[in-house]
Amino acid sequence: MLTFGETMVALRGSGPLKLGGTMRVSVAGAESNVAIGLARLGHRVQWTGTVGADEAGELVLRTLRAEGVEVFGATVDPGAPTGLLLFEPRLPDVTRVHYYRAGAAGSRPAAAAVERAFATAPPRVLHLTGITPALGPEARATAALALRLARRHATSVCLDVNFRARLWSAAEAAGVLRDWLPFVDVLIASADEVPLCLPGPDGTAVDGAAARLLDAGVGEVVVTHGADGATAYTGDGGPRHQGAVPVRAVDPVGAGDAFAAGYLSALLDGADVAGRLVRAVTTGAFAAAAPGDWEGAPTRAELALLAAPPGTVVR
């Protein structure tokens, strides 16, 4: 399993940034979040990308290694810093995220990183997100190279749309995502992201849009509905829906990445669509119930914990 994208240093504050205070240092990035989630579930997974030749880059690589993620294919850019993001809890249920990634190493990943990852051992699955191509032309070109290498090596491709309006416009995203569709085997998108993947009116119902995506060659379309769970569409039978696992939400950041990790984990295990959805909503719930992007991701042995009644103490 291979993920490719940008990982940054993450600073999490306890309140408004303008008031100062302490911040907790960690790392974050959609693709590395998925990699950590898969590693915790017992899968062999590699993250590749580019970090700066700085202490922040060392923290990224050290953290991923500590979580069991292989990073031998990653590259270091001596001419650009590792990216930074700041989390600012502004209200009990509202967090603002501030990015400092323009010109960072992750926005200009070396093609050699992706080429080395495929040359060493072609992965069964390549996971990409719509964040990477939004970082700039170099990142977009390297992601496109990864898609071509995946096809050459018969590697399945999972694309999580992960649209970020602060990085690029909907029109720009749609242009790239639609070009990528012929390479995609598994598409993950929220209901409001699905229209980005298809030409036509935005008002198209999700069921109809999913059917068009399947007709376009996507193997399966997984549509997330937040607290209402997720629905998977395949060419085998009708849509399958799975409700979310109810938890006391602490931090929604990273829940979508955990969902993707759970879905891919079950896919790698050979589970059917229903089993993939169950694991995906379970891992997503774990992430939402803990602070941080990836810190709450469960191990395989912990998956059953959400079924325990409130107040349970595991001894």
Residue 252 corresponds to which tokens in the numbers above? 């929604």
d(CA 238, CA 232): 9
> Which of 179-183, 201-205, 307-311 has the lowest average pLDDT?
201-205
pTM for the complete prediction? 0.94
Domain span at residue 87 reads: 2-293
Residue 280 corresponds to which tokens in the numbers above? 């995906």
For the domain that residue 97 is a member of, what is the CATH number? 3.40.1190.20
Mean pLDDT, rounded, of the chain: 92
- Is residue 155 a part of any domain in this protein? yes
- Average pLDDT in the 165-189 region? 95
- Is residue 97 a part of any domain in this protein? yes
- Is residue 298 a part of any domain in this protein? no
Rg of the chain (C-alpha set): 19
- Average pLDDT in the 31-45 region? 98
d(CA 35, CA 258): 9
Quick check: is 257 catalytic? yes
d(CA 85, CA 106): 13
Q: Is 104 helix (H, G, I), strand (E, B) or coil?
A: coil
Interval 47-62: pLDDT, tens: 999 999 999 999 999 9
Task: Tally the domains of the chain.
Answer: 1
Q: How sure is the predictor about 200, in pLDDT bands with cuts at 50, 70 and 90?
A: low
The predicted structure's pLDDT at residue 204: 62
DSSP string, 222-281: EEE-GGG-EEEEESSSS-EEEPPPP---S--TTHHHHHHHHHHHHHHTT--HHHHHHHHH
Q: Name the packing angle between helices 273-288 and 255-268 (round to 10°).
A: 150
90 phi and psi angles, rounded to 5 deg:
-105, -35
- Is residue 87 a part of any domain in this protein? yes
d(CA 172, CA 140): 12
For residues 91 and 233, is the Cβ–Cβ distance under 8 A?
A: no
For residues 91 and 14, is the Cβ–Cβ distance under 8 A?
A: no
- Is residue 310 a part of any domain in this protein? no
Q: For the chain, how far is it from start to end, CA to CA, in angstroms? A: 34
Interval 14-35: pLDDT, tens: 888 888 888 999 999 999 999 9
- Is residue 258 a part of any domain in this protein? yes
- Average pLDDT in the 159-176 region? 95
- Is residue 309 a part of any domain in this protein? no
Angle at 82 between CA 79 and CA 84, to 5 degrees: 140
Which of 77, 160, 251, 257 is labelled catalytic? 257
- Is residue 300 a part of any domain in this protein? no
The predicted structure's pLDDT at residue 137: 95
